[in-house]
């Protein structure tokens, strides 16, 4: 899983876009330790895409295509 790259992407841009909505780091990891529901679902979708050899990078950014 490209956790480090996703983390760096959020820190650089200030958000992660999931299904058209921009989530801040506080929304992604509300208590600083546990992932929110949208984050968990997004990571599950990323894992599924990786396991099925689907493309997940666009212009160097990780996103579901």
pLDDT tens figures, 8-46: 999 999 999 988 899 999 999 999 999 999 999 989 988
Residue 61 domain flag = no
Residue 63 domain flag = no
Chain Cα centroid distance, residue 36: 11
Residue 64 domain flag = no
Chain Cα centroid distance, residue 46: 8
Task: Determine what percent of the chain falls in helix, strand and coil, rounding each to the nearest 5.
Answer: 45, 15, 40
The predicted model scores a pTM of 0.78
pLDDT of the residue at 65: 62
Residue 17 domain flag = yes
Number of domains in the chain: 1
pLDDT of the residue at 6: 87
Residue 12 domain flag = yes
Domain, as residue range, for 23: 3-55
Give ∠ CA 54-5-31 in degrees, rounded to 5: 110
């Amino acid at each position: 899983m490209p956790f480090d790259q996703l983390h760096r992407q959020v820190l650089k841009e200030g958000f992660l876009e999931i299904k058209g909505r921009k989530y801040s780091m506080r929304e992604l990891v509300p208590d600083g330790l546990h992932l929110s529901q949208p984050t968990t679902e997004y990571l599950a979708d990323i894992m599924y895409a990786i396991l099925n050899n689907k493309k997940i990078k666009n212009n160097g950014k990780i996103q579901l295509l």
